[in-house]
Structure 1
Amino acid sequence: MSYIEVEENTKIYHMGDSTVYANKDISFKIDKGELVIILGSSGAGKSTLLNILGGMDTNTTGNVIIDGNNIAQYTKRQLTSYRRTDIGFVFQFYNLVPSLTAKENVELASQIVDNALDAQEALESVGLKKE
């Protein structure tokens, strides 16, 4: 069984009178540990697909099965739990609160995770040591 299975996935956006298909009937499988590259032109639906896999967005139709669980059928509460405990997401742009220090931003994230790392240790591990 594949670790990730996307079956006939479609994402539709409605913009006024227009219907936009970000992804239309895409299907693929990825085995655990397999390295995959997603290529496509601007607007092809790459970010939409990653947002769906990451639980940040939902698909319109189809199945998205991760480790045997169909996240396409998850409730909002289940998706929140999935994002907190099962997946990591590295954003293209930083999503920091500008009025907080680096440590305070890290501490914010640690408030929603069980067994969070120490904020100062996490910062030091990436070269941000308090002087």
Structure 2
Amino acid sequence: MAYIDVKHVSKIYGSGEQEVRANDDINFEIKKGELTIIVGASGAGKSTLLNILGGMDTPTKGDVIINGKIIANDSPKQLTTYRRLSVGFVFQFYNLIPNLTALENVELASQISPDSLDVPEVMK
């Protein structure tokens, strides 16, 4: 059984002649523990797909099923809970708070996790 199941997912921006299909009818499965790499040219839709899988964006069409639960139509509140409890992100531009130290940034993130790791140990 797939841990991540993407079924006919499309992300479409604009309409008519201005329509841009960032993702168009994507289908794949990833088993739990399986290493998957997403590659493609700049502008191919990799970040859009990762944002959809991570609950930061929603597809225009299709289903995203994570561990048996469809998240494609979740409310913003449900997606916030999904991101908080189920997904880890390493952002391209880090998204650190510039006036905090590295330790303070990690401590801040650990405050919203129900079972965070020991911050000083993580920093080692």
- Give the TM-score normalised by structure 1: 0.86
Letter in 1 for 2:73: Q
Number of residue equivalences:
123
For the Cα contact (< 8 Å) 2:58–2:73, is it kept in 1? no
1:46-69 deviations in whole A, cap 9, x for unaligned? 111011111111111100001101
State the distance in 2 between where 1:116 and 1:39 align.
31
RMSD, matched Cα: 1.6
Q: Which has the larger radius of gyration?
A: 1
Cα shift at 1:40: 1.2
Structure 2: state its 5+ residue gaps: none
Letter in 2 for 1:43: G
Partner of 1:52: 52
Q: Percent identity?
A: 63
Letter in 2 for 1:77: K
Structure 1: state its 5+ residue gaps: 125-131
State the distance in 2 between where 1:115 and 1:80 align.
17
Partner of 1:122: 122
- Give the TM-score normalised by structure 2: 0.90
Partner of 2:80: 80
What is the DSSP-based 3-state SS (H/G/I as helix, E as strand, rest coil) of the residue aligned with 1:73?
coil
Cα shift at 1:101: 1.0
State the distance in 1 between where 2:118 and 2:33 align.
28
State the distance in 2 between where 1:98 and 1:121 align.
22
1:31 aligns with 2:31: yes
State the distance in 1 between where 2:91 and 2:55 align.
13
